[in-house]
Amino acid sequence: MYPITPTKQGEKVSFKNPNPAFYEALGEDGIRALMYDFYDIIYESDIAHFFPQDPEEFAKTKEKNTRFFIQLCGGPKAYEEEAKGVELNEYMLRLHDDFSIYEKSRLEWLGAMREALEKVDIAQELKDDFWNYVEAFSKLTVNTTVDGNKYYTSL
Ligand code: HEM
């Protein structure tokens, strides 16, 4: 369950946004609970240093992340002000370009997401569908090799 395939440099990545049924099953509060739990796990993880250390700033990122996923999953347009007319996923990729993200960082991120998702009590196929999005999309955030070179995968 929740399989992870490795990112390959230069590979074309295809993904599809989560099924709106995931949002319908969880509702806004359910998505928020999932994302807050996820970020609490991140805060204690090996990639915590990527994120703001100041609790107030961290809380802002947590809430922005929540609003992104609410909109991405078919809920209200809670994040569009940040993305300013740019397609959501495109905007997210640009935002992650500012950080040096390794495959190892992605695995840690996915591990936190898996741990949070396992606790959510909705149909397994909806969770699997959501997982497929994060598993694939996260490959596009990986942009740095172990020897420090920058690289890109593409849509
Ligand atoms: C499916 C993959 C991912 C998605 C959908 C995603 C989504 C997001 C969102 C919505 C935000 C908040 C944007 C905002 O502040 O407006 C964010 C921020 C961030 N993400 Fe990701 N992310 C993904 C993978 C990763 C991975 C693998 C890393 C690895 C370290 C990462 C590191 C970060 C960092 C460092 C920030 C900025 C924190 C800050 O300074 O506020 N993300 N991400």
Q: Locate 47 and state its tokens.
A: 């990639």
Class of domain 20-141: mainly alpha
pLDDT digits (tens, 9 = 90+) for 56-86: 999 999 999 999 999 999 999 999 999 988 9
pLDDT at 68: 98
pTM above 0.75, yes or no: yes
Q: Hey, where are the domains in the chain? A: 20-141
Cα 96 to middle of ligand 1, angstroms: 6
Cα 24 to middle of ligand 1, angstroms: 23
Chain centre distance of CA 14: 15
Mean pLDDT of the chain, nearest integer: 95
132 lines ligand 1 (CB under 6 A): no
Atom 11 in ligand 1: which residue has the minimum CA distance? Answer: 65
52 lines ligand 1 (CB under 6 A): yes
pLDDT greater than 80 at residue 152: no
Choose one of 43, 58, 96 to mutate for the ligand 1 pocket test, by most ligand atoms within 8 angstroms of C-beta: 96
Strand, coil or helix: what is 47?
A: coil
The CA–CA distances, whole Å, from 31 to 20, 22, 69, 89, 142 equal 12, 9, 7, 18, 25
Amino acid at 91: Y
